[in-house]
């Protein structure tokens, strides 16, 4: 475990060095993404100016939700940047590099790239969490711990879901379009109050598109401690992680490589 | 125990077939058809520890597929292989600590960073402690003459410089076997020679075994003692490079120039005239049919000689001839 951690930290450091070669581009993407998220949140500010709450959720709940989702999403796709392009790596035969080195293929592939714009999401998420604390008037070390736990659970489910969807590439060929739809679906649904959904829709958000594990559940857990919710987010994270690793390595046996000319960015 | 041992190795790919045009695409969408392509057909060979073995063949011969199976990247359809005692597709990680690989079309150096940053990352990947890594980098930098290049972003290096850095990176962890797939692709003559020199030097200094695939017969001729030629996934020739040359270099080409005009009906028995001019001629003969001595005597008897050049076909031409014989 310590060996893999030291290796992954070295990868992240190399990613950072690579990003710093183009500082202006890096900063532009970070600031651009923060503005993009802020503009999106303006919609909710306008909404809650007219309606006090929506099925028990108010603006502060939305700030907590955006805090957890943006921080988790930003950290996840920054640290595991290839989680959004695994499909093309598989389809174009670019897994060769990771297979020829003595490290776990999935971990190595995921952590070998950082998205600069994700750093913007991450920073925005921290601002949103800060604003949520300010307006709710509640803060303490325990809340910070719950926020960290909630974000970690959110990262695990998000990355596992993306790996699961893109592992289908091993069986059905390029899934870039499917990945894009799945990605949009999980981000969109994770940013709505869970109380809007019930019955089949709710089941859908806990299974096929597990947005509830990325947004609502951890956000509610951050707001107030609930042992059942803690158990739910831990179990959800563990199940999706095990499933993703299992499906990916089953698929890897079908990997067919390729001969396209490649570049390591 | 051989460093590499391969027995009846086979790899079949399923390729989707589609006829041309929109109609073909619609039909393939509704009822896709697949064709089995046998990239590797029952290969068997061995490579000794510390050996420099050439593995050559035309495009699509199965060279890269074989190398990818030997590094654990691909699973074979059937057959056995062992590299340094490991079954590559079962012990991929353990094997990767003991072998190095360079794929000419798949760089491992980070494009926007200086090569030295990738070297330090590889140090972590291969679990080399910091002081050993520093010593190793400095040793390889000297051996590959890349001291001046290490701190330049890879995107700014020439192809030849980059390839020397690539090979150096693959040797950081002192592998016992190096698998080189087309390392000289796209390099100019000088860069090729420098790369060959450094590979040879590492073989001499550290006894690293090299399995080398190349399109360039010069790589094989300069570096390898033994060669395996594959075509259509099968071995069509295996022997020492010297034996290959001896066996196939029987055709000689002679360029001759005279101080005086040649007779218009100039010819020699058993010799094919390629081109006859007023003061010289180019001709070809097979030493198995026509010995060298009467040809040279005949040339001398034909007039006052100004210059004679006898040349053999290049290894490239020899290999082309072997490929041509195995075409179906």
Find the CB nearest A263 among B93, B111, B126: B111
Residues B125 and B229 in one domain: yes
Contact A255 B74 (CB under 8 A): yes
Contact A257 B74 (CB under 8 A): yes
Residues B154 and B73 in one domain: yes
Residues B263 and B141 in one domain: no
- Tell me how far apart the alpha carbons of residues A67 and B50 are, in angstroms, rounded to a whole number: 58
In a domain, B320, yes or no: no
Sequence-distant (6+) residues with CB within 8 A of A223 are A61, A64, A136
In a domain, B15, yes or no: no
Q: Would you call B157 helix, strand, or coil by DSSP? A: coil
For A146-193, write each residue's pLDDT tens digit. Answer: 999 999 999 999 999 999 999 999 998 888 889 999 999 999 999 998
Confidence at A249, pLDDT banded by 50, 70, 90: very high
For B109-146, write each residue's pLDDT tens digit. Answer: 999 999 999 999 999 999 999 999 999 999 999 999 99
Q: How far is CA B181 from CA A208, B8, B56, B187, in A?
A: 43, 21, 10, 14
CATH of the domain at B263: 3.30.70
**Angular region, B324: left φ>0, alpha ψ -120 to 50, beta rest:** alpha
In a domain, B35, yes or no: no
In a domain, B292, yes or no: yes
Contact A256 B74 (CB under 8 A): yes
Q: B105 phi and psi, to 5 degrees?
A: -100, 5
Chain B positions in Cβ-Cβ contact with residue A100 (cut-off 8 Å):
71-73, 96, 101
Chain B positions in Cβ-Cβ contact with residue A3 (cut-off 8 Å):
127
Confidence at A264, pLDDT banded by 50, 70, 90: low
Mean pLDDT is lowest, of A225-229, A236-240, B187-191, for B187-191
In a domain, A13, yes or no: yes
Chain A positions in Cβ-Cβ contact with residue B101 (cut-off 8 Å):
100
B contact set with A (CB within 8 A): 13, 64-65, 68, 71-75, 92-97, 101, 103, 105-113, 117-118, 120-121, 124-127, 153
Distance from CA of A55 to the nearest CA of B (A): 46
Contact B108 A97 (CB under 8 A): yes
pLDDT less than 70: residues of chain B: 315, 325-328
Residues B151 and B88 in one domain: yes
In a domain, A49, yes or no: yes
In a domain, B189, yes or no: yes
Counting every residue, how long is chain A? 265
For B173-210, write each residue's pLDDT tens digit. Answer: 999 999 999 888 888 888 888 899 999 999 999 999 99
Find the CB nearest A96 among B73, B93, B121: B73
Contact B107 A263 (CB under 8 A): yes
In a domain, A258, yes or no: no
Rg, C-alpha atoms of chain A: 19
Q: Are B107 and A262 in contact (CB under 8 A)?
A: yes
The reported pLDDT for the residue numbered A258 is 64
The reported pLDDT for the residue numbered A121 is 96
Q: What total number of domains does chain A contain?
A: 1
Residues B211 and B104 in one domain: yes
The reported pLDDT for the residue numbered A239 is 97
Residues B161 and B226 in one domain: yes
Residues B105 and B143 in one domain: yes
Looking at chain A, which residue has its C-alpha nearest residue B60? A259
The reported pLDDT for the residue numbered B12 is 92
Distance from CA of B105 to the nearest CA of A (A): 5
Residues B226 and B262 in one domain: no
B275 by Cβ neighbours in 10 Å (0-12 / 13-18 / 19+) ranks as exposed
Q: What total number of domains does chain B contain?
A: 2
Contact B108 A264 (CB under 8 A): yes
Contact A96 B112 (CB under 8 A): no
In a domain, A260, yes or no: no
In a domain, B69, yes or no: yes
Strand order from edge to edge, sheet including B4-17: B33-47, B4-17, B78-83
In a domain, A261, yes or no: no
- Tell me how far apart the alpha carbons of residues B116 and B94 are, in angstroms, rounded to a whole number: 25
Instruction: Look up residue B229 and give its two tokens.
Output: 């030629």
In a domain, A136, yes or no: yes
Residues B267 and B208 in one domain: no
DSSP codes of every residue in B252-292: EEEEEEESSPPPTT---TT-EEEEE-SSEEEEEEETTTS-H
With CA atoms as reference, report the closest residue to B279 among B298, B297, B255, B295: B255
With pLDDT > 90 as the criterion, what percentage of chain B qualifies?
Answer: 54
Residues B284 and B233 in one domain: no
The reported pLDDT for the residue numbered A262 is 56
| Structural domain that includes position A84 | 2-252
In a domain, A192, yes or no: yes
Mutate to test the interface with B, among A102, A113, A258 (most CBs of B within 10 A): A102
In a domain, A264, yes or no: no
For A48-63, write each residue's pLDDT tens digit. Answer: 999 988 888 999 999 9
Residues B254 and B232 in one domain: no
Please name the helix (run of DSSP H) or strand (run of DSSP E) that holds residue B101, with its range, or none. Answer: strand B99-103
- How far does chain B reach from its first CA to its final CA, in angstroms? 36
Contact B121 A10 (CB under 8 A): yes
Residues B177 and B47 in one domain: yes
- Tell me how far apart the alpha carbons of residues A52 and B142 are, in angstroms, rounded to a whole number: 71
For A6-45, write each residue's pLDDT tens digit. Answer: 999 999 999 998 888 888 988 999 999 999 999 999 999 9
| Structural domain that includes position B299 | 250-311
Contact B125 A103 (CB under 8 A): yes
Res. A259: pLDDT tops 70: no
With pLDDT > 90 as the criterion, what percentage of chain A qualifies?
Answer: 72
For A65-97, write each residue's pLDDT tens digit. Answer: 999 999 999 999 999 999 999 999 999 889 999
B88 by Cβ neighbours in 10 Å (0-12 / 13-18 / 19+) ranks as buried
B280, β-bridge pairs: B257
CATH of the domain at B65: 3.40.50.300
In a domain, B325, yes or no: no
The reported pLDDT for the residue numbered B85 is 96
In a domain, B93, yes or no: yes
């Amino acid at each position: 475990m310590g060996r893999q951690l030291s290796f992954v930290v070295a990868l992240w450091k190399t990613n950072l060095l690579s990003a710093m070669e183009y500082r202006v581009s890096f900063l532009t993407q970070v600031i651009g993404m923060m503005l993009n998220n802020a503009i999106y949140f303006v919609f909710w500010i306008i909404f809650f100016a007219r309606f006090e709450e929506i099925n028990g959720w108010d603006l502060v709940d939305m700030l907590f939700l955006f805090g957890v989702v943006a921080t988790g999403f930003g950290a996840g796709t920054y640290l595991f940047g290839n989680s959004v392009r695994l499909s093309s790596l598989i389809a174009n035969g670019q897994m060769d590099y990771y297979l020829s080195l003595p490290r776990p293929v999935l971990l190595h592939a995921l952590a070998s790239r950082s998205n600069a714009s994700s750093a913007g999401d991450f920073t925005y998420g921290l601002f949103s969490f800060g604003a949520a604390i300010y307006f709710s008037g509640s803060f303490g070390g325990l809340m910070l711990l719950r926020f960290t736990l909630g974000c970690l659970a959110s990262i695990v489910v998000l990355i596992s879901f993306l790996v699961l969807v893109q592992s289908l590439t091993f069986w059905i060929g390029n899934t870039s379009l499917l990945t894009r739809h799945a990605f949009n679906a999980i981000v969109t649904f994770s940013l709505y109050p869970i109380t809007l959904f019930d019955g089949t829709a709710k089941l859908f958000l806990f299974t096929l598109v597990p947005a509830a594990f990325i947004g609502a559940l951890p956000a509610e857990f951050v707001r107030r401690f609930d042992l059942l919710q803690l158990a739910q987010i831990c179990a959800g994270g563990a199940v999706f992680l095990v499933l993703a690793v299992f499906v990916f390595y089953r698929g890897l046996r079908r990997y067919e490589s390729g001969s396209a000319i490649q570049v390591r960015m | 125990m051989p460093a590499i041992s391969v027995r009846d190795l086979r790899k079949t790919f399923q390729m989707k077939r589609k006829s041309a045009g929109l109609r073909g695409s619609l039909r393939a969408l509704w009822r896709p058809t697949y064709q089995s392509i046998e990239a590797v057909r029952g290969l068997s060979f061995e490579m000794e520890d510390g050996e420099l073995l050439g593995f050559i063949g035309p495009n699509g011969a199965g060279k890269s597929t074989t190398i990818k199976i030997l590094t654990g990247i691909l699973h074979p359809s059937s057959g056995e292989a062992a590299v340094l005692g490991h079954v590559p597709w079962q012990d991929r990680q353990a094997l990767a600590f003991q072998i190095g690989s360079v794929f000419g079309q798949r760089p491992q150096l980070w494009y926007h960073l200086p090569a030295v940053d990738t070297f330090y990352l590889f140090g972590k990947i291969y679990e080399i402690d910091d002081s050993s890594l520093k010593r190793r980098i400095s040793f390889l930098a000297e051996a590959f003459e890349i001291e001046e290049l290490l701190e330049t972003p890879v995107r700014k290096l020439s192809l030849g410089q980059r390839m020397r850095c690539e090979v150096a990176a693959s040797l950081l962890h002192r592998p016992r076997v190096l698998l080189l797939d087309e390392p000289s692709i796209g390099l100019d003559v000088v860069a090729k020679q420098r790369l060959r020199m450094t590979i040879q030097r590492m073989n001499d200094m550290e006894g690293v075994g090299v399995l080398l695939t190349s399109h360039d017969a010069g790589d094989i001729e300069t570096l390898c003692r033994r060669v395996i030629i594959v075509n259509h996934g099968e071995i069509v020739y295996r022997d020492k490079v010297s034996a290959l040359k001896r066996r196939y270099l029987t055709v000689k080409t002679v360029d001759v120039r005279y101080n005086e005009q040649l007779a218009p009906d100039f010819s020699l028995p058993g010799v094919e005239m390629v081109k006859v001019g007023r003061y010289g001629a180019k001709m070809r003969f097979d030493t198995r049919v026509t010995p060298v001595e009467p040809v040279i005597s005949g040339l001398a008897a034909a007039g006052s000689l100004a210059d004679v050049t006898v040349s053999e076909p290049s290894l490239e031409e020899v290999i082309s001839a072997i490929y041509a014989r195995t075409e179906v």
